[in-house]
Structure 1
Amino acid sequence: MFGLFLIIDIIMAAAAILGGYYMRYRAPKDEAMKHGLRISGSLKSREAWEFANISCGRSWMAVGVIEICLGMPIAMMMYWWKGESIAIALLFVYLEFFTIIQCVSVINVSRSISDKFDENGKPIEKRSKK
């Protein structure tokens, strides 16, 4: 059972890294914008689309790398130190934690789109201070 949770951890981390890479570097540039971070703010303009995919892709890649770098060693230490049942519970909580972090990153990107772009998807001009 512990091995199954480790495999799930690796798959989720790889999906976060690959999905983030795709959003950041390979999101489609065509007018359909079918694949990528499809939220209401990102679909309003090309600039918002690119900003949303680059921002979310960067955070998903970071989450995936952190998940692999922390999840495997922590799970193995807990397995050898406390036993299989504690390690399985920790991995389950760990996977849920990183799933929540990925969801929060999408919410943060949505908020930053509303801060940086107007209702038509055009970038908001920064006001110069006098």
Structure 2
Amino acid sequence: MGFWFFMLIMNMLIPLAMLIFGALFKNKAPKEINYFYGYRTNRSMLNMDTWVFAHKHCGRIWYKVGWIMLLLSLIVMLLCMNLKEDTLGTVSLILICVQLAVMAASIIPTERALRKTFDEKGNRR
């Protein structure tokens, strides 16, 4: 049961991070464009307008998807409560890989929204 509880906590980290950073980003982007913190792509870093837009857009996605992934991850873990440790470890690895893929996939709609809203130089269309 101790290993299951440990894996439950590990499997909640990515959805919780998405919830926390989603809530932060949808309300307030980092004050300055930087290479260390925030939604950093070439298009989002063109100017402050693209920077703020990208953070609000990505933040909304992460906040919504974070709740969904948190609930689904909890359901998966509850269904796996009585599995052997090696099987539980494998299920958790798959779950974390899916979470990372979903998190990375949020780049696609955000970049599409940036392309639709801004030209190549960062001016609003």
TM-score range, shorter chain: 0.7 to 0.9
Cα distance in 1 between the residues matched to 2:39 and 2:20: 14
1:69 CA drift (Å):
0.7
Match of 1:50 in 2: 52
**What one-letter code is carried by the residue in structure 2 that aligns with 1:101?**
V
1:89 CA drift (Å):
2.0
**What one-letter code is carried by the residue in structure 2 that aligns with 1:64?**
G
Match of 1:37 in 2: 39
Q: What's the C-alpha RMSD, in Å, of the aligned pairs?
A: 1.9
1:27 CA drift (Å):
1.3
Match of 1:26 in 2: 28
Bigger radius of gyration: 1
After superposition, residues 80-119 of structure 1 pair within 5 angstroms as: 80=82, 82-119=83-120
Checking the alignment, whether the CA contact within 8 Å between 1:23 and 1:53 is kept in structure 2 is: yes
| Structure 1 residue 64 corresponds to structure 2 residue 66 | yes
Checking the alignment, whether the CA contact within 8 Å between 1:20 and 1:59 is kept in structure 2 is: yes
1:9 to 11, 15, 28: 11
Cα distance in 2 between the residues matched to 1:3 and 1:92: 15
Could you tell me the percent identity over the aligned residues?
A: 24
Unaligned runs of 5+ in 2: none
1:17 CA drift (Å):
0.8
Cα distance in 2 between the residues matched to 1:105 and 1:11: 17
Moved over 4 A (4+): none
Count of residue pairs brought into register by the alignment: 121
1:103 CA drift (Å):
0.6
Checking the alignment, whether the CA contact within 8 Å between 1:63 and 1:98 is kept in structure 2 is: no
**What one-letter code is carried by the residue in structure 2 that aligns with 1:113?**
L
